[in-house]
Amino acid sequence: MNITLRNKIVLLIVLFVCSISCKPKNNKSEVSEKSTSEIKKAIPNPEEEELKAIVEKLLFAVGNSDFQTLESIVSDKANLASAIIRDRVSKNSIITIGEYFETQKNRDRKPFYEPVNEYKILINKGQIAFVWADATLYKYGVPKTNNIDNFTLIKEDDAWKFMNISFTNTRLPEELKKFDLEIFAKSYAQVWCSQRPNFVSSFFAEDGVLQINDDSPAIGTEAITNVVKGFMYNFPDLVVSMDSLITNSDKTRFYWTLNGTNNGANGTGNKVKISGFEEWTINKEGFIQDSKAYFDAEEYQQQLKIGMEN
């Protein structure tokens, strides 16, 4: 083999080896950059999480018509702007938050549940924040409208307060308005926190039945309202959370945990935490026809007397 040919072969081998040795380095670099980016996304930003929590607190309170909570987190100088879009026509409104409270407090309201699908958050120097939220408004487990909510918040005394609230409300097409049992259950848990017993009974059929342990059944929404009123009266800070939901055949079990302080009239002042479940029969209209509720009544009475065990 002559020298020229040998040199060419050696050169080709060197180039081939270089091309192989260089490739993995580039891939490793790309993988490393991608992994770093994914890790950053996976680690929650504490400030953003705090803002999400207060937005969800506001939406929870609006859905429950809880004006006391709203007044505590919304500045009395705030404005409320809305664009209600129907058939591509927008009806716009701008009012002060005080005007909103006055118009809403005397209205015959129904509860709603508004979970957020997506957030976009911008925080300016840790003092002013802009939150964009894409949410769906549900009534009794059925999606009704798409709400694009925009919030401006300012930090006062180390706590965020809403300075501006604006939203567009667009009706969803009929084919998307399908009953969602899990959303229905989450909405039901929400209204147990409302201090509005009629909100809870509104989840029942007019001739619906609620029976708690071995007590006599409450039949009809008025009787159910009175049962719920007893719990809300005894626990002014009542919070009911959904633990899980299990459906078998035509029955659904809604597992819950109740937290509250027995501060009603003649209350013991003790904190109570008790878990149980309701077994539902849901009618064709998507309301509770029959509910049988179970919890440890002996443990409940014990906590009322001496409070929770440490």
172 and 64 both lie in a single domain:
yes
290 and 204 both lie in a single domain:
yes
Render pLDDT for 126-164 as a digit per residue (tens, 0 to 9).
Answer: 999 999 999 999 999 999 999 999 999 999 989 999 999
Domain enclosing residue 244, as ranges: 190-306
The CATH number assigned to the domain holding 71 equals: 3.10.450.50
Place 309 in a pLDDT band, splitting at 50, 70 and 90. confident
Check residue 27 and give its pLDDT.
Answer: 56
What length is written for the chain? 310
Longest dimension (CA), the chain: 109
Instruction: Answer whether residue 267 shows pLDDT above 70.
Output: yes
Check residue 108 and give its pLDDT.
Answer: 86
Q: Is residue 140 situated within a structural domain?
A: yes
Order across the sheet with 116-124: list the strands: 89-96, 74-86, 159-171, 142-156, 128-139, 116-124
User: Could you tell me the pTM of the whole model?
Assistant: 0.85
Quick one: average pLDDT of 283-307? 96
Place 250 in a pLDDT band, splitting at 50, 70 and 90. confident
Non-local (6+) Cβ contacts of 39 within 8 A are none
How many helices (H) and strands (E) would you count in the chain?
Answer: 8, 12
Whole-angstrom Cα distance, residue 123 to residue 47?
A: 8
Q: Are 204 and 222 spatial neighbours (Cβ–Cβ below 8 Å)?
A: no
Quick one: average pLDDT of 243-271? 94
Whole-angstrom Cα distance, residue 52 to residue 61?
A: 14
Instruction: Answer whether residue 2 shows pLDDT above 80.
Output: no
275 and 299 both lie in a single domain:
yes
134 and 200 both lie in a single domain:
no
Q: Is residue 194 situated within a structural domain?
A: yes
Handedness of CA 282, 284, 285, 290 (dihedral sign): negative
* CA of residue 68 relative to chain centroid, distance: 19
Instruction: Answer whether residue 10 shows pLDDT above 90.
Output: no
Q: Highest mean pLDDT range out of 21-25, 98-102, 226-230, 261-265? A: 226-230
Check residue 20 and give its pLDDT.
Answer: 45
Count of beta carbons in the 10 Å neighbourhood of residue 170: 15
Rounded alpha-carbon distances, angstroms, from residue 155 to 26, 57, 60, 246: 45, 16, 21, 42
* Tokens (6 digits) for 283: 């009618």
Check residue 310 and give its pLDDT.
Answer: 59
Count structural domains, the chain: 2
Place 16 in a pLDDT band, splitting at 50, 70 and 90. very low
Check residue 43 and give its pLDDT.
Answer: 82
Q: Which of 176, 206, 232 is the last residue of a domain?
A: 176
Check residue 17 and give its pLDDT.
Answer: 46
* CA of residue 4 relative to chain centroid, distance: 76
Quick one: average pLDDT of 27-51? 70
| Percent of the residues in the chain that have a pLDDT greater than 70, as a whole number | 86
- Mean pLDDT, all residues of the chain: 90
198 and 170 both lie in a single domain:
no
Q: Is residue 40 situated within a structural domain?
A: no
Count of beta carbons in the 10 Å neighbourhood of residue 50: 14
Q: Is residue 5 situated within a structural domain?
A: no
108 and 200 both lie in a single domain:
no
Place 14 in a pLDDT band, splitting at 50, 70 and 90. very low
Instruction: Answer whether residue 13 shows pLDDT above 70.
Output: no
